[in-house]
Structure 1
């Protein structure tokens, strides 16, 4: 099962991991389940299948570590431990990449950049932020004249408690680290429940944590085939203080409901249907290249712009450009040099995307590219890069999150119409705006009801930038100072003069 050592030098075997990381130890689960390759549809190994008893053990361990040790208050010690953890991850980039390619279907290039290397390196910002964070603010004295009393006021920041981090399969390592590192840095302890489809990425993090000697109980890793059972246990348990969840809006609503019984804090990063608006003065030939992002990781990204809004009079031009651009998309084996797009995560997701494509045709959307399964890829969970035109903006591919390589072109009449269409969605996660006039683009961006807007090839992704959305795209922010604050409580102490 690999080698565990103090410096975190471990290997990730392709046959997987039958153990869980609980209370500082690697422990065998009573059972395991098969891990399936999205690229071939075949079993590539096993993963530990955590039980309700394993979940209980992880909660107890996290609770004890928070309540009975100085993890939450010894900031210098915590920083030392987490820097050692990050150094160990940096030494294990290749095994982490291999896990993400094998189980998430990520291309090798994506694994080496946004899936693995980038997130591990970006953890530096979080730890630097911890090092300089002010845990107490002295507001000075205030006299309440009606009572004739004077008090000195201190505002203190404290760790929120035990965190349940529930993560998805599309960017398994990146999202895990976006939750776990700030939670641990803030002084919380964590129970991580990884997505069933991507257990190895999480399990390897547990092994690295064990190898580099993180204190017992501060970080616990559960992998399980039945996501709903363990997720529900964590959300409902009163010993959990914070739930941080990334996934679909439908499941997010259930998480919120389950957590309400104990009125625990909930962070939700949910679905999106992001628009890409080309204003009439934009350079269309270059701006439309951004639409190829819908093929990145087979469109399995919540913030990817999947609706492209273009002036009605230039619709035919846009159709021609996009069809020619999509001809250059190479897809197939994630390990193939130059591969841009890999498979969908599993057969269930592939069938869901294909079903939505058929539904869109029946609803009147015009298919101009792709729309099926590649004939040359008989194995794995692939869908062709697909383009629709929906002049009514009413079909399922114009309004619902597909989570596949499907782009919908929607024409607009004028700028006000473009803004109306952009905001006519239950979601409000991201958007893209292109214009030759930067001030015009920024003014338009300010009118969009979304948490993230990229203007003229801008890219929001950075460790100090808060990520999250409006409306049914979620509650709260991840990453940046705002993401760190999700794991803090505020205490006011008033001292009589």
Structure 2
């Protein structure tokens, strides 16, 4: 595929403007310690303008094979998996290097991802960097062995203990929406555990992920092959990463349908697989809640990163008797949310990632209206770039497509309920179980409702659980396993039991 062909494909078929943005960034792969260019490249498009930000190497199966081989060799033949002190040193170096390159990464994130300046100060950039600090510090005190004491068996004393060791070679595949957060939440606990990694960037936002590889290569002592970073517009490299016999662990963030296929593909070699997939999270507003505060939280949440977050609460469940009142509050707030140029610090919301994604979002909104939902705000595409107005749909049927399927856009579905039991039933009536929220005048009442929701994370009255020390993941088809926290480290560890006869 030519560069022009890949530009067109990356931009939903419309092509990028030939004049590159001010960044004009080209990046390289990291394979076995070397920064590598490829003959074929594909363009990354700035979703706020349609301009070309830069070009990413279009890796094929050969580059994926080389990356896996390098990771296997580094795991099997170096001391990386056993030298805890050295791993801590390298994570400390990487953390400092990220801080030293923070402003360049911020500029690239805004252009490559369409993230606003506000978001780069939070979950798009600065918050993920704290993941590196967290695991470097955790590794300093995490117990990698446990003494189980002695026991008598058949007249002999046996000393027993358990050790935790690295699981092996990890394939890490990330989604486009929060590329730095997703990459660091995978590779950093893997590296802390002593694993080696092949990281594949999302084709819609490859440049910032490749930049992480360049920082590792240029500013840390992480040995060759321990971290490999590739990008590709093709499916084949990712497929190889999930089926190759030299890969021990697969960690994936993306859609639930793709997660199902990855789990099936990995089954032949019985790889350890953990996934962070889709969500259709519900915010339940009880009749004693502060409606104005609830409306503010609901509107602000669904517009965060233009709704491109799997854990965002995209269903707002409200008491039937107060449905119209709350819906009007939400619509009034969401109409005032500033969106546009993500480089402008005054803008709260930026664009969707591509024209293709915007068409999907708009089609779902139009079908919802045709099915009987009431459009109270938004529902319009805005050019240039891939912007979509913050949208509120009221009177939504909880069984409808817009209430059941992930939109991945700034679209809030307001659903009425009759009582607490009805609210819990509607919230749990989903294949997903990633996040959720409850609003009430009583924390105790809200927590009691939250405990009945089958979901991995819950915010109570505006509480924010997100942080490097908090395990994140879902129930049901929102995924398997957890990222961040101690649980995130343990996903990359194997447990080995030992016993030795105690000599008299």
Structure 2 length-normalised TM: 0.93
Residue 307 of structure 1 pairs with residue 315 of structure 2 = yes
CA contact (8 A) 1:364 1:395 kept: no
Structure 2 partner of 1:170: 177
Query: Shift of residue 18 of structure 1?
Result: 4.3
Structure 2 partner of 1:57: 66
Structure 1 partner of 2:452: 447
Structure 1 partner of 2:80: 71
Structure 2 partner of 1:371: 379
Structure 2 partner of 1:321: 329
Say which of 375, 397, 408 aligns to 1:392. Answer: 397
Structure 2 partner of 1:229: 236
CA contact (8 A) 2:352 2:387 kept: yes
Say which of 248, 256, 262 aligns to 2:263. Answer: 256
Residue 291 of structure 1 pairs with residue 298 of structure 2 = yes
Q: Deviations over 1:254-282 (max 9, x none)?
A: 11011111000001000000000011111
Give runs of aligned pairs for residues 427-466 of structure 1, distance below 5 A. 427-466=432-471
CA contact (8 A) 1:269 1:475 kept: yes
Say which of 215, 220, 245 aligns to 2:223. Answer: 215
Query: Shift of residue 391 of structure 1?
Result: 4.4
Residue 485 of structure 1 pairs with residue 493 of structure 2 = no
CA contact (8 A) 1:162 1:240 kept: yes
C-alpha separation between the residues in 2 aligned to 1:438 and 1:490? 39
CA contact (8 A) 1:343 1:381 kept: yes
Gaps of 5+ in 2: 1-20
Structure 2 partner of 1:128: 137
CA contact (8 A) 2:128 2:184 kept: yes
C-alpha separation between the residues in 1 aligned to 2:285 and 2:495? 43
Residue 113 of structure 1 pairs with residue 122 of structure 2 = yes
Q: Structure 1 496/167 Cα, relative in aligned 2: closer, same or farther at 3 Å?
A: same
CA contact (8 A) 1:18 1:32 kept: no
Residue 410 of structure 1 pairs with residue 415 of structure 2 = yes
Structure 1 partner of 2:348: 340
Q: Deviations over 1:98-140 (max 9, x none)?
A: 1111111101111122211111123211111001111111101
C-alpha separation between the residues in 1 aligned to 2:423 and 2:461? 17
Structure 2 partner of 1:85: 94
CA contact (8 A) 1:365 1:395 kept: no
CA contact (8 A) 1:167 1:246 kept: yes
C-alpha separation between the residues in 1 aligned to 2:258 and 2:397? 29
Query: Shift of residue 471 of structure 1?
Result: 0.2
Q: Deviations over 1:388-418 (max 9, x none)?
A: 1234312211111000000000010111101
Query: Shift of residue 149 of structure 1?
Result: 4.1
What secondary structure sits across from 1:260 in the alignment?
helix
CA contact (8 A) 2:28 2:214 kept: no
Q: Structure 1 13/382 Cα, relative in aligned 2: closer, same or farther at 3 Å?
A: closer
What secondary structure sits across from 1:337 in the alignment?
coil
CA contact (8 A) 1:390 1:398 kept: no
Structure 2 partner of 1:154: 161
Structure 1 partner of 2:52: 43
Q: Structure 1 391/355 Cα, relative in aligned 2: closer, same or farther at 3 Å?
A: closer
Structure 2 partner of 1:24: 33
Query: Shift of residue 15 of structure 1?
Result: 2.1
Deviates more, 1:391-400 or 1:179-188: 391-400
